[in-house]
Amino acid sequence: MRRSAAKFVPPGLPIVRSVEALRGTLAGWRRDGRRIGLVPTMGSLHDGHLALVRRGLEAGEAVVVSIFVNPTQFGPNEDFSAYPRSEAEDAAKLEAIGAHLVWAPPVDAMYPPHFSSYVSVEGLTDGLDGPHRPGHFRGVATIVSKLLLQVLPDTAYFGEKDYQQLQVIRRLVRDLDIPVVIAGVPTVRDPDGLALSSRNLYLTPEERKIAATLPMVLAETTEAAAAGIASFPELLRAARAALAEAGFGSIDYLQICDAETLAPVDRLDRPARIFVAIRLGRTRLIDNMPIGR
């Protein structure tokens, strides 16, 4: 019988950097009957990441947090080299809340020489972020598949802020028969409503004030859509105008989509969400909210 990991506290917080060391540690946990949870991250941890860890701890699992800035999910003009890295601070945060292990592999452990095997999920990646970040979801699907196979967790936790990513991972797990439960965790927000993101660090103080308008506009739009106040195209036009007036830059997309298939919808006859990707200074903000829930 598998035991709860709620009181399982290893000495210090182990940080492992080889697949062999990872599997050796996890094999011992499994022999002890412990359930394992996985929280994949790229580091620069904030309260949104920690909420995922806490969810695993609350479930009584021994929680592994991966920290790996994945090069294959960044495009040529994106911020891979500048992406914030703070392993020591991240480890301190994780140890403080009771995480059990950090999996922090070097790049060559994840992508050895002549690496040539990738995972692609079609359909779900055709819209929203897909056209704007070519290759991004192939990189995400590949690295998440590797992490799931390396850790073999009972549960893996992902935030709903990256909702398209969450749906892609759910689909690949289903399609490839990977034996893991994918748990979505609601978006964690600052008191003014802005979704927590490592990239919020790029915002200037003035941009940060403007950014708080984004969740307000999304919430107003979802409420109006649920109430049937106007057609979806009318509501989206009004939202675009409000964001432009607030001082935002270009919009990559602002759409209402089916919550499962991510296909655009024009009426509320199924679970739906509003999705946005928008520029503010040099920062690209993404967010989404459910409609009528």
Positions annotated as catalytic residues are: 49
Task: Reduce the DSSP state of residue 194 to 3 states and report it.
Answer: coil
User: Taking a C-beta distance cutoff of 8 angstroms, is the pair 111, 72 a contact?
Assistant: yes
Give the pLDDT confidence score for residue 89 in this predicted structure: 95
Of 85 and 156, more confident: 156
User: Considering the entire predicted model, what is its pTM?
Assistant: 0.93
Strand partners, 251: 278
Would you kindly state where each structural domain of the chain is located, as residue ranges? 15-185, 198-291
pLDDT confidence band for 293 (50 / 70 / 90)? low
Is pLDDT of 272 > 90?
yes
With 0-12 CB in 10 A as exposed, 13-18 as middle and 19+ as buried, what is 117?
exposed
**Predicted confidence (pLDDT) at residue 4 exceeds the cutoff of 70:** no
Question: pLDDT tens digits, residue range 167-222?
Answer: 999 999 999 999 999 999 999 999 999 999 999 999 999 999 999 999 999 999 99
pLDDT tens-digit map of 233-266: 999 999 999 999 999 999 999 999 999 999 999 9
Average pLDDT over residues 84-105: 96
Q: What angle do CA 86, 165, 195 make, to 5 degrees?
A: 60
pLDDT for 79: 80
**pLDDT confidence of residue 78:** 84
Average pLDDT over residues 59-83: 92
The predicted model gives 9-14 an average pLDDT of 70
Domains 15-185 and 198-291 alike in fold: no
For position 168, what pLDDT does the model report? 98
198-291 domain in CATH 3.30.1300.10?
yes
Residue 134 zone, left/alpha/beta (φ > 0; ψ -120 to 50; rest): beta
pLDDT at 82: 83
The CATH code belonging to domain 15-185 is 3.40.50.620
Query: Of 163, 166, 160, 155, whose CA–CA distance to 186 is shortest?
Result: 160
Query: Band of the pLDDT at 101, cuts 50, 70, 90?
Result: very high
Q: Give residue-wise pLDDT tens across range 111-139.
A: 999 999 999 999 999 999 999 999 999 99
pLDDT of residue 112: 96
Confidence grade of residue 3 (pLDDT, cut at 50, 70, 90): very low
SS3 33: coil
| Confidence grade of residue 75 (pLDDT, cut at 50, 70, 90) | confident
Mean pLDDT, range 44-56, rounded to an integer: 97
How many angstroms from the chain centroid is the CA of residue 99?
18
Written as six digits, the tokens of 143 are 């690295």
Given a cut of 50, whether residue 5 has pLDDT beyond it is no
